Amino acid sequence: MTIIGFFQSFFEAINTIITRILIALFIIVFGFIISRIIKKLLEKIFITINLDVNLRKITGSKYKISRILPYVLSIIIYAATIIFALVQLQIAFKYWFWAFIGVITIVLIIFLLEILDWIKNFFAGMSLTEEYNIKKGDTIKIENMVGKIISLEKDHLKMVIPSKDRIIVPYSFVLRNNVVLDRKS
């Protein structure tokens, strides 16, 4: 091998590496731009169709889904973009793929746990209203806490305690404790 052949091979290798790095950077920039556009577009669509208001009516949830969902989707797009860039750099794909799957799984588990908590409170509320026939205006004693019910929501009740503080009590908490109703007040 001659010196010219050595330098020619060296510059070809450098050229390949620089090309891969530039393509990876382009993928990252393009992915971030697309992610931002999709996030803003979904936020506007969700606000236009009053997603938060409609979900609040259906589920009683006070979460801003019109902000949370686009944000989660943009994070997923960011992660996919970084994985594609790493693949372009020929960094062990199988490890990044499983890391990406792991992150998505964790996000889904957190989301499902939140939904399960809401469902648990929803069914506990149905059970309470059926079993105790709780109504707005009733005075209720839960363990050592006494108050007057001011509203019954889908997953919790609101009550005013003697110190005039308003508190929110999840139905599952009410169901787990001793409940005494006083309908005289």
Residue 154, exposed/middle/buried by CB under 10 A (0-12, 13-18, 19+)?
middle
Q: What is the DSSP letter of 50?
A: T
The structural domains of the chain, ordered by start, are: 3-130 (no CATH), 134-182 (2.30.30.60)
DSSP string for residues in 104-155: HHHHHHHHHHHHHHHHHHHHHHHHHHHHT---TT-EEEETTEEEEEEEE-SS
- Mean pLDDT value across residues 80-90: 81
- Mean pLDDT value across residues 93-119: 79
Split at pLDDT 50, 70, 90, the class of 29 is very high
Query: Which pLDDT does position 84 carry in this prediction?
Result: 82
Each residue's pLDDT tens digit, 106-118: 888 888 887 887 7
Decide: helix, strand or coil at residue 177: coil
Decide: helix, strand or coil at residue 85: helix
Highest mean pLDDT among 34-38, 86-90, 107-111: 34-38
% pLDDT > 90, the chain: 4
User: Is residue 61 a contact partner of residue 55, using CB atoms and an 8 Å limit?
Assistant: yes
User: Is residue 182 a contact partner of residue 139, using CB atoms and an 8 Å limit?
Assistant: yes
Split at pLDDT 50, 70, 90, the class of 53 is confident
Query: Which pLDDT does position 183 carry in this prediction?
Result: 65
Q: What is the DSSP letter of 63?
A: -
Residue 35, exposed/middle/buried by CB under 10 A (0-12, 13-18, 19+)?
buried
Each residue's pLDDT tens digit, 120-137: 888 888 887 787 788 888
* Residue 185 reports pLDDT greater than 70: no
The Cα-based distances of 46 to 11, 43, 60, 63, 178 in angstroms read 52, 5, 17, 13, 42
- Mean pLDDT value across residues 28-39: 90
Higher pLDDT pick, 11 / 20: 20
User: To which H or E segment does residue 166 belong?
Assistant: strand 166-170
* Residue 101 reports pLDDT greater than 80: yes
Q: What is the pTM of this model?
A: 0.47
Highest mean pLDDT among 58-62, 89-93, 154-158: 154-158
